[in-house]
Structure 1
Amino acid sequence: MAVVEPVVNEPAAVADLPDERALLIADYHAGIEVGLRYELGVELDSAAETRREHVLSLLDRTDADRLVVLGDLAHRIPEPEGPERKEIADLIAAVTDRVPMTLVTGNHDAGVAAAFADRLDVLPPAGGRIGSEGGPASTSVGVVHGHTWPDPDVLAADVVCLGHEHPQVRLSDAVGGSRIERVWLRGSLHPEAFVDELEATAVDAAGTDPDVVVFPAFNDRSGGTWVNVAGNEFLSPFLPTAIASAEAYLLDGTRLGPYRDV
């Protein structure tokens, strides 16, 4: 059975697979500072080096054999250029000098795969499975960004991991103060959410309901969906229906309970 466990106090998880140990992150959003300048007129110093060193320290800390990015390695949707392209190039070079790197194509990654095809293993937007190597689904992890409907093969994995949503909760205190925290969403993936789009035969072929893990954004400047606040719409076409019974967890592992009730 494949196991995916968050790294305590980090927006990252480790998947123990039959032949390797993979470090998984989502929504890196390289070059976000450039994007914020153009989009909102917000001026922030680049945290490119800090983000890169954070990833490298996690590879060392977890003794991972591979880095898997669950989409949105880039921030701006066109082909990366300027500081954003440099940040991506520097990250890929630093990581692949140590371990292989897999990118699940996200909605912000239109030009990344082509630009860095010689250094990356790339999965399409519909995702795929890692770790099975032709073996049983129970030895694999399904990976998808989450902005498109997944390949039915993803649903055949024991655990499905996705990003895109940047889940957060707003926590309020008794005197009216509040704070925003990144969270994990974990539970069972409900196959009925996929029947109309993927056809019942494809969903049935996937077998039993897999576990699901919705990753917090690795980039703490990227905002997110307040999953416990009414009126905040989910971004993914199959959420929240597919995770109706999921629970929220803080990065330190604190269980908050069903995300709707936090």
Structure 2
Amino acid sequence: MNAQTRTAHHTSALVLFSGGQDSTTCLAHALARYPRVETLGFDYGQRHSVELQARTVVLQKIREQFPAWAGRLGEDHLLDLAVLGKVSETSLTRDMAFKMEASGLPNTFVPGRNLLFLTLAAALAYRRDIQVIVTGVCETDFSGYPDCRDDTMKALQVALSLGMDHRFLIDTPLMWIDKAQTWQLAHDLGDGTGVADGGNALVDLIVEHTHTCYLGDREHRHDWGYGCGACPACELRARGWAGYRAA
């Protein structure tokens, strides 16, 4: 299904929006395609809970700086998912050092997180009569999480559509691009808004106001944004920025 056909048949989207770089790029992607867009965040006891504050700032800045998108951007939802933090023993929900586990996965992997996120997103989308769920999962430039893979998304799309008797589309605009291409995608989306120098404006917004660092560091400012500079999320973001700037 090409972009024009998809847009013609899908008029509403719910974006899983954490307030980070990837989900902000996904939000821009949705706002460029769907007439009605809502956002959903989760409070699951994450160490980097500062992202929950970043969410509201980013939404406000998008409304202020991109008038063509402001009219499409609807209600924001935040769900309490504290139970996920209670059942998981990971470096995202506990005060522990980042490391690789015997399984080959980093201990930043929160088992079941995306499965729960998407199930709850589908339940909300069902109630809100929303057709598309947009998420920033990626298996091109990622930490190996199995619940970010394309096969997982396809399986979930089928299961959720069957289980709720509502034909959902799970839209994954970042699935096959790396972090450098994610920066470029944001620039291209911003350019399409009609705002003067909109591409650089959206990139600057992402640099200054989103939050991606796993440690919640908002003290250290880098060319690519705020963060500790050493956690896996910061390393991916910095490497992507360098590739984007070199292109």
Question: Do they fold alike, i.e. is TM over 0.5?
Answer: no
TM superposition score category, shorter chain reference: 0.3 to 0.5
Structure with bigger RCO (C-alpha 8 Å, 6+ apart) = 2
Q: Please, what TM-score do these two structures have when normalized by structure 1?
A: 0.35
Q: Please, what TM-score do these two structures have when normalized by structure 2?
A: 0.36
Query: Higher helix proportion, which one?
Result: 2
Query: Higher strand proportion, which one?
Result: 1
